[in-house]
Chain A
Amino acid sequence: MSERAAIRARGLTRRFGTLVAVDRVDLDVPVRHVYGFLGPNGSGKSTTIRMLCGLLTPNAGEIDVLGLTIPAQADALRSRIGYMTQKFSLFEDLSVRENFEFMAAMHNVPRERARRRIDELIEQYRFANMHKQLAGTLSGGQKQRLALACAVIHEPELLFLDEPTSAVDPESRRDFWEKLFDLADTGTTLLVSTHLMDEAERCHRLAILDHGRLVADDTPAVLTGRLQGRTFIVDASDPRRAQRTLAQARGVLGVAQIGHHVRVLTEAADVHDMPGHIHAALAQAGQHAQVTPVPPNLEDVFVAVTRHAQAMEPTA
């Protein structure tokens, strides 16, 4: 079956003192997929990744990665995965090439092969004219490119990338994602955490974490499809006032000003004529506006699932 799971976790839980950083998370990551991990700061993305790599011991739950039981068989897993940490963790006082050489040795890539592989990666990841530069003096985006290159030096079956593009500019990000898909094409499974919607949109499949809980897990298309008919653009003469008014309105889940417009996300359409409802709410406050339905995007999904969770918070 092509949909064999590279990662399978059930009831994954991790506490730090009284804080539940990861709360009963179930995950299934299919092989050869780019699997996105979306969530606000502190939602438990890094903690989950660390548990899946066997670097942190879960308080509860079962993990199976590449057929190995984690954390018990973590040692056997280490040669088969690549892990790019959120914070740059290569050696700043080693040169680009020295970092490559070190990581190749760590993964016991045969010397001759390692030499060819390093040359190949230096070429492919555009370090040709800075392979002697100390890693600490690279720019933020270059550092992340180097970290990715080092993480794949031993051609791992599974890659964990923790916010790999946080310092990469949009143009280079496109380039970066090309590489991720190339890797997926060659058979690698990738788990990528991110805050960025445009990145999340590119993933084959997406899990959204909020306060340690898994609040959504599906393809981007299915996730956005669920919000069909719940997103609108409001053109108002005074968008700031319109935003404030709508934020208080019944049935409205999220309002965001986007340039001269206001983007509105509503609750599940129990009101038949949502545009009319929005109209009325604004008219009541003495404002006139034009309401147009728009297709939902992942940002709406993000707002919808995290708001929902927050609304449930006090009772939980």
Chain B
Amino acid sequence: MKYIPAIIAVSLWLAAQPALAALNILACEPEWAALAKELGGDKVSVYAATTALQDPHRVEARPSLIARARSADLMVCTGAELEVGWVPLLQSQAGNPKIQPNQKGYFEAAMAVPLIDVPTRVDRSLGDVHPAGNPHLHLNPANIAKVASALTERMAQLDAPEAAYYRDRAKSFLERWQTATVRWEQEGAPLKGLPLVVYHKDLSYLVRWLGMREVGALEPKPGLPPTTAHLSELLSQLAKDPAKVVVRSAYNDPRAAAFIAERARIPVVLLPYTVGGTERAKDLFGLYDDTLSRLLAVTK
């Protein structure tokens, strides 16, 4: 234990260092990293814990993430138990009181929007269901707007001297976002009623927003990988109620989607799912632009 005084000395010295101007944000998913950048500009430093190629349900509390959580002023996560397998570990191991649950430094997007697909019955025989409702909420632009407002206020609370800056940026973002939303809704009109097969319930908000119709899922039950038995069942179901397209997110295994597409003679569309999932999905606007144009390509 003779090192303890040295440790304390070093940490006190580090604490005494002038704090870096930027608000340190650890975003659990790329969509929230992109949103935090839109709102925070150069007053924030944002690190995304995951990429679009990683399944947000299956992330590990890697040492690098503990290190990031240690120095974060604000964690921006989806909540609704999407990150139940790893965020609690970051919170318990990082030694950072700011980002504990119910603290100002822990923001959950799911708190700002009403969730869909809230199960009436929660039982594991139904698969790894999301008991609080569907957490993949960022694929409805109205939700992004709501989360943006709530997040702006949280950032303003945490970094009061820059509150006006954040609110200005939020205003500008929301204006641009609303204009874009109107455009997307116009462009997306032909997608109304489009029957599609999804991989997981991670596109449900998009499906509802654009009025598309989810006729099946590649996962037999939430969180369980596709099985041949389920896929052949799905095929016979599709024979009665055909789908126009199979969609999958960038992080999903392509094989199950290809299997169905080939046999049902329908195209597979890869959707970015979140920022960074495709070349064009560089930010939130790009995410929606690319998602829509990829879906619209099917209807042409």
A and B: bona fide binding partners: no
Q: Which residues of A contact B (CB under 8 A)?
A: none
Q: Which residues of B contact A (CB under 8 A)?
A: none
